Amino acid sequence: MPRRLPTLPDTARAFATYSLVPYLGILFCPGAVVVGGAGLFKSYRSPLTPDETGRRACYVSLSVGLVVLAVQLLLWWILYKAPMWAQGL
């Protein structure tokens, strides 16, 4: 059986999965958003039959990437502010 090459939905799904790692996930969130958006753009611009599962995976990856990015930014902000709060500033 020939080996299947990774596609944009597969890559976007991998980025979204790795973005769930606490604190390190912030490195993968932009990848999930960019690759998910590129996959959506490609799926709508492609003259071939639309792949609904690939499009759905790109939508989910894009959404997860944005939500996790917001949560990660909040966690990093809390980590930055915690010493100041502890000192009573």
Q: Give just the sign of the alpha carbon dihedral 12, 16, 57, 63.
A: negative
- Domain borders along the chain are 8-87
Q: Give just the sign of the alpha carbon dihedral 31, 34, 38, 41.
A: positive
Q: How confident is the model at residue 50 (pLDDT cuts 50, 70, 90)?
A: low
Q: Which residue has better confidence, 4 or 1? A: 4
Would the pTM of this model clear 0.95, i.e. be above it?
no
Q: How confident is the model at residue 88 (pLDDT cuts 50, 70, 90)?
A: confident
* Residue % of the chain over a pLDDT of 90: 48
Rounded to whole angstroms, how far apart are CA atoms 35 and 8?
7
Which residue type occupies 19? Answer: S
Q: How confident is the model at residue 34 (pLDDT cuts 50, 70, 90)?
A: very high
